[in-house]
């Protein structure tokens, strides 16, 4: 990610009757990413993304938002979201990953020698499901998954965005970043974690 924005645009479609397809639909997604340099305060990588599905589709063809239930921090996933937890047929998201690039640690002699780097991140996801794609209103569609007790494990985002944030230390042993991640809402869902430790390999010198 450099000084100029990076754009992506993707379009897929299904045609009823073609190669056995039972549905006609179009799926349009796009994103824009840019790095903002903030002088001594480091830099921020910002990504805006959105998508819209036209037509009626069953649960497996909805946008199943990227979740992560491993201990590896994933930049393009929601690191405290469960697999298959949220689906949408239209959505928008914002992700901000900021590196202070040693702005604070360099003022502390021990940390300056270690060359660690402070980092924070913020992710928000807003989405929804139109009535035509809601199995509760269309019995012909696949029902959302439930657990062994019959409790739903897949949800829509309603009027509240999913939000998580993290604070971390990068350049540990020259190529590790470790984050403490906090999930800020939808804490009443089954088997969710409010806090988590995640790590990934980076190369910040």
Q: Which strand (E) or helix (H) includes residue 164?
A: strand 162-172
Distance CA 118, CA 112 (A): 12
How do residues 138-197 score in pLDDT, each as one tens digit?
988 999 999 998 899 999 998 899 999 999 999 998 889 999 999 999 999 999 999 999
35: helix, strand or coil: strand
Angle (nearest 5°) at CA 106 between 79 and 175: 45
Q: What is the pLDDT of residue 184?
A: 98
Q: What is the pLDDT of residue 204?
A: 54
Name which of 61, 55, 64, 60 is nearest 26 in CA terms.
55
Distance CA 198, CA 71 (A): 5
Residues 6+ apart with CB under 8 A from 124: 93, 94, 161, 162, 163
Q: Is residue 103 part of a domain?
A: yes
N- to C-terminal Cα separation, the chain: 16
Q: Name the pairing type of β-strands 43-54 and 176-183.
A: unpaired
> What total number of domains does the chain contain?
1
Q: Is residue 168 part of a domain?
A: yes
Tokens standing for residue 46: 């910002």
Q: Name the pairing type of β-strands 25-37 and 87-88.
A: unpaired
Q: Which strand (E) or helix (H) includes residue 54?
A: strand 43-54
Q: What is the pLDDT of residue 149?
A: 87
Stretches where the chain sits below pLDDT 50 are 205
Q: Is residue 1 part of a domain?
A: no
Q: What is the pLDDT of residue 110?
A: 84
Q: What is the pLDDT of residue 154?
A: 97
Q: What is the pLDDT of residue 159?
A: 86
In the block, which residue shows the tokens 């037509």? 55
Predicted TM-score (pTM) of this structure: 0.91
Q: What is the pLDDT of residue 126?
A: 98
* Structural domain that includes position 78: 6-201
Determine what percent of the chain is predicted with pLDDT higher than 90: 82
114: helix, strand or coil: helix
Tokens standing for residue 92: 């928008």
Q: Is residue 53 part of a domain?
A: yes
């Amino acid at each position: 990610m450099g000084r100029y924005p990076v754009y992506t645009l993707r379009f897929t479609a299904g045609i009823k009757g073609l190669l056995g397809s039972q549905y006609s639909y179009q799926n349009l997604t796009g994103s824009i990413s840019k790095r903002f340099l903030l002088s001594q305060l480091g830099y921020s990588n910002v990504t805006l993304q959105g998508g819209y599905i036209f037509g009626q589709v069953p649960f497996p063809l909805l946008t199943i938002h990227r979740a992560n239930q491993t201990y590896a921090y994933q930049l393009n996933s929601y690191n405290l979201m469960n697999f298959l937890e949220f689906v949408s047929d239209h959505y928008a998201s914002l992700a901000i990953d900021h590196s202070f690039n040693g702005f604070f640690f360099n003022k502390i002699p021990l940390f300056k020698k270690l060359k660690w780097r402070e980092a924070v991140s913020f992710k928000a996801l807003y989405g929804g499901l139109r009535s035509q794609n809601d199995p509760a209103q269309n019995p012909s569609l696949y029902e959302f998954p439930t657990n062994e007790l019959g409790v739903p494990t897949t949800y829509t985002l309603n009027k509240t965005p999913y939000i998580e944030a993290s604070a971390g230390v990068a350049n540990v042993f020259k190529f590790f970043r470790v984050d403490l991640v906090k999930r800020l809402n939808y804490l009443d869902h089954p088997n969710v974690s409010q806090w988590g430790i995640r790590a990934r390999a980076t190369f910040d010198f």
